[in-house]
Structure 1
Amino acid sequence: MTTSRMRAEIGEQPAALRRTLDALLPRVPDLAALARGTRQVLFIARGSSDNAAVYGRYLAETRTGRLGTLAAPSVATAYRTRLDLSGVLAVAISQSGKTEEIVQTLDWAADCGASTVAVTNGAGSPLAESAQVALVTEAGDELAVPATKTYTTQLAALAVLALGLGADVPRDDLRRVPDEIADLIARAEESAALPEIVEGLAGVQGVVVSGRGLAFGTALELALKIKEACYLHAMGLSYADLLHGPIAVVDDRTPALLVAAGDGPTLAGTIALADRVRGARARAFAVGGGTGLAAASDAALPGPDLPEWVAPLGLIVPGQLLVERLARRLGVDPDVPRGLNKVTQTD
């Protein structure tokens, strides 16, 4: 079978991440200077970029001591409300840097007193030109509609942002990411779990995708990819929210796909959720979570050997491989899902 463009771009991620880290790590002093005096981070994004922003929010709050929030762009573009954003660092994230709503919202934030950062793969784009500091990722051209390398390089940029905000974490963790992802791609494709999970999802109409904390954005992104590339109903939830009621939808026709880093305070809860799912006679599939989550699940794809704060950069990759393989199994071209374009404009 001919290799899809999406699969080729998944394989380009190690090189894209090396280029991005080489370009952005020297910008840490610029970010530190811009962020001096700020107390809160406001993330502005849509789609996959919004899922990256969830990771950025957790990094800001768990590693830098700053409150992180997700913006509602309609406050700026539809309601045209003016807020006091002094002391706020506004971070707009857009793969292309051309989505007008995101550019307008960043301009609005600046006009309301915020300092501004752009994260984009579009050098010279309107978003990059609008920001005081532009973190331009080095993903290269991405031709498949589902974001893969542009998403992971956004996560890398947000990890660099956390360093600029004073996160007390080892930079060497970031430098290990590209090689770890190269190894992870090989391990995931050789895993017997990959075809097993593909077959387990090929016969259902829906799946619940769940993670928590720093892995929550990964769960949301994986659910989005399943919806847009495989046309399945996929519900992305924190496992805390899942246990508050939606757990009732998990049954023998609706499996759960659980994502977790190999360490961290949310791993035990993810393992407990896998036990509960299987106790309800539903299937539990896993991405990451080490041997503990694998033992509690019906089948598990390997996760990255990375500490929790950077694990999401690798954790999404087995999920991307799963989505690409599942789309082809369902007879869907993963490169051009129906109804979608590379750049989405919203009002």
Structure 2
Amino acid sequence: MTTRMRGEIAEQPAAIRATLEALLPRTGEVEAVARDTRHVLFVARGTSDNAAVYGRYLIEARAGRLAALGAPSIATTYRRRIDLDGVLAVGLSQSGRTEEIVETLQWARDCGAKTIAVTNGGESSPLAQTADLALCTLAGEEKAVPATKTYTTQLAALAVLAIGLGADVDPGDLRRVPDAVEKLISDPGDLEAVVGGLAGKPGVVVSGRGMVFSTALELALKLKEACYLHAMGLSYADLLHGPIAVVDEDTPAILVAAGEGPTLAGTISLAERVTGAGASAFGVGGGAGLAGASTAALNGPDLPEWLAPMGLIVPGQLLTEALARRLGIDPDSPRGLKKVTQTD
């Protein structure tokens, strides 16, 4: 059985490549809109909110600007006005039609913020029309309900945003991302072993830290949406503060890491602690060190840490699709979900 989700996973190298070709020449426009701003406020929900977590870490760690995730309910439910002078508000919506996000971005603009939209909905979408600048991704239509290519192209757009904000990175490294993603699609690692290790389990903890925390959150969301698992996405710093008590024979851990960077050693140590306690630890990325400390492992991309999340989610997407089929679930149309979610 070939699912739409699996087909759209395979379209990601081309979608990322097209998005980067369209957006990389526009870093000067980002710089111009962001002039006279100091802070970045992300406005998003769901998968887009997980993408925003990546944007927050990237901008704080590499562009030296304070960034935060906004609470749309402050605008839409509490109707509070906040002084946003000096703030760059970035609204993320794959469809560009989520009313709550459109309304919140307009609220931010009315409160004095400069505004940027990141959307796959095109320049004519309500979100793009609301913003001072729209960074439109080129993922094409996504028919499966679980987001795959719209998520990774959002990450690509956020990398371009960070470059426009002066991030201390090599923009040329972005050109390596499509090929790295393509390699992971053809060789995701020990996929069958991880699927087998999760089949029949009621829940799982998914953990990563720093730049890859976004991947842990997104993979946990996908496992909830498409496999109906009780999946908990946590920073490993938070996991060690108490919730690690839930990791046992019936609740394995999926641990995510880039192949380099300051959080890798801690992730390997966590894998050793989990397996030492008799539970299963499934690695995603982290090179030979994490693979060696894990029960089974999925491959990661040959990319620097700041770009690793664009690749790390791909074996997680393949895992989600394969596990859903193993469980007899159609990953294209999970129960209770729609492609565009409107929040009261």
The equivalent position to 1:250 in structure 2, one of 232, 247, 250, is: 247
Q: CA deviation at 1:61?
A: 0.3
How many pairs were matched up? 343
1:263 equivalent in structure 2: 260
- In structure 1, what is the Cα distance between the partners aligned to 2:86 and 2:266? 35
The equivalent position to 1:199 in structure 2, one of 196, 202, 222, is: 196
- In structure 2, what is the Cα distance between the partners aligned to 1:162 and 1:327? 35
1:38 equivalent in structure 2: 37
Provide the secondary structure at the position in 2 that maps to 1:176. Answer: helix
Q: Deviations over 1:104-126 (max 9, x none)?
A: 00000000000000000001110
- In structure 1, what is the Cα distance between the partners aligned to 2:301 and 2:112? 40
Aligned AA (2:61): T
Q: Deviations over 1:18-53 (max 9, x none)?
A: 110011011100001111111100000000000000
Q: CA deviation at 1:64?
A: 0.5
Provide the secondary structure at the position in 1 that maps to 2:187. Answer: helix
Unpaired stretches in structure 1, ≥5 consecutive residues? none
Provide the secondary structure at the position in 1 that maps to 2:78. Answer: coil
Aligned AA (1:125): S
Tell me if 1:158 matches 2:155. no
Tell me if 1:222 matches 2:219. yes
Q: Deviations over 1:206-236 (max 9, x none)?
A: 0000000000000000000000000010000
Structure 1 residues 319-334: aligned runs within 5 Å: 319-334=316-331
Sequence identity, in percent? 74
With structure 2 as the length reference, what TM-score do the two structures score? 0.99
Q: CA deviation at 1:280?
A: 1.1
RMSD (CA atoms) = 0.5
Provide the secondary structure at the position in 1 that maps to 2:300. Answer: coil
Structure 1 residues 67-82: aligned runs within 5 Å: 67-82=66-81
Q: Deviations over 1:229-283 (max 9, x none)?
A: 0001000000000000000000011000000100000001100100111111100
Q: CA deviation at 1:90?
A: 0.1
Q: Deviations over 1:151-189 (max 9, x none)?
A: 00000000000000001211111111001111111111x
Q: Deviations over 1:68-119 (max 9, x none)?
A: 1000000000001010000000000000000000000000000000000000
The equivalent position to 2:290 in structure 1, one of 288, 293, 298, is: 293
Aligned AA (2:222): K
1:283 equivalent in structure 2: 280
Q: CA deviation at 1:299?
A: 0.4
Following TM superposition, the consecutive aligned residue runs of length 4 or more in structure 1 with deviations greater than 2 angstroms are none
- In structure 1, what is the Cα distance between the partners aligned to 2:135 and 2:323? 33
